[in-house]
Amino acid sequence: MTNHIEFIKETLKLAEKGRGLVSPNPMVGAVITRGSHILGRGWHKAFGLPHAEIEALKEAGKKAKGATLYVNLEPCCHYGKTPPCTEAIINAGIKEVICAMKDPNPLVNGKGFEELEKNGLKVRTGFLQEEAENLNSAYITYITKTRPYILLKWAQTLDGRIATYNGDSKWITSEETRNFVKKKRFEVDGIVVGINTILQDNPSLDYLPPSFQTQKELLCHKRYYKIILDPLLKTPVEGNWWKNVNSRVLLVVSDNIPEEKISAITGRENSEVIKLPCSGGRFSLKNLAEKLYKKEIGIIMVEGGSETLTCFWDEKMADEIMVFIGNKILGGKDSLLSITGKNRELFSEAVTVKDLEIQKMGDDFFIRGKPCFQELLKRQER
């Protein structure tokens, strides 16, 4: 008896290989089988490259006729950067498609299945749907909320401080943990920091690429932005963040900054500017998210500092948090905290975090989870 679950697990494993390279597209893996024998495998390797189904069909060749295709996301049925996968699946003679989940993209959203069934293919769905949705949670957010998936990240001491009163924070965590963070940066399309972090730390904001060979060969396709929230355009013309010309530096400035001041810093080939309305030194993050969405930036990691993190938190613009806790106690009533903002009167205003993952990393700890803003809003409505 064919084990559909095991083949869908294989598609999820293959899909994972595209992490950091396919966004804002979904991570997709595909397997073509006859009985228990695998004829072809494929995954979406990078943004703009052939989809997983096409790669699997290519490997299977003529053996695909009469075979079964397993895939973790509904095949596309529209022309985008590549032709529709449904057309290739039908032309290859595939007889059955077994899929984990429907694609929420309005251009697909069941139409791919309908196209396949209309052409005589059997379609079955819903295998490991929850696992498939978790894998592509960032893509689902990008499509359904028309904004990037937003991840807040910070490092803090055991007593919750992210820096001394004057901003010194070197180093809260170990070098091993800091390298882990750089590897996590590879998984996103953009890093967001405020101008104070730029002026205080002179950061490079670079990522560490994965070590395995298949992705090294694809690094030329990596899309990566260093996004600096800089209302008054104080960003220096020299700094570590400029040095990697393979990434883009995206300056977000107030819309009343004179063009001559902007042109003085945007002569670099890897620089861009977004102008947004600014009130009290703050941008509307919904406006920012809309601009980033239009630039096809699917996932951003907000690295701070405190003021920037608080802005995102106050606007409830956070899908996930990643907290790295160093084995240190700093103390000091004026030491900086990650999330500040207005004082709360009731503890019921606290936000809980679901799907918690806790991991020990040497002497440090890593906590990851999803803030439950909706639960807070429901409590406040009662």
In sequence order, which residues have a C-beta less than 8 Å from that of residue 142 and are 6 or more positions away?
23, 24, 148, 149, 293, 298, 299
Q: Which residue type does 20 have? A: G
User: Quick check: 99 and 125 in contact, CB under 8 A?
Assistant: yes
Q: Which of 6, 72, 71, 12 is nearest to 37 (CA)?
A: 6
Annotated active-site residue 133? The verdict is: no
- For 53, the enclosing helix (H) or strand (E) is helix 52-60
Three-state secondary structure call for residue 103: coil
Catalytic residue among 53, 74, 115, 320: 53
Per-state percent for the chain, helix, strand, coil, to nearest 5: 30, 25, 45
CA 104 – CA 73 distance, rounded (Å): 10
- For 181, the enclosing helix (H) or strand (E) is helix 175-185
Q: Which two tokens stand for residue 176?
A: 């091993």
> Are β-strands 278-279 and 282-283 bridged in parallel, bridged antiparallel, or unpaired?
antiparallel
Q: Contacts from 273-276 at CB under 8 Å and sequence distance 24+?
A: 274/250, 276/252
- The set of catalytic residues is 53
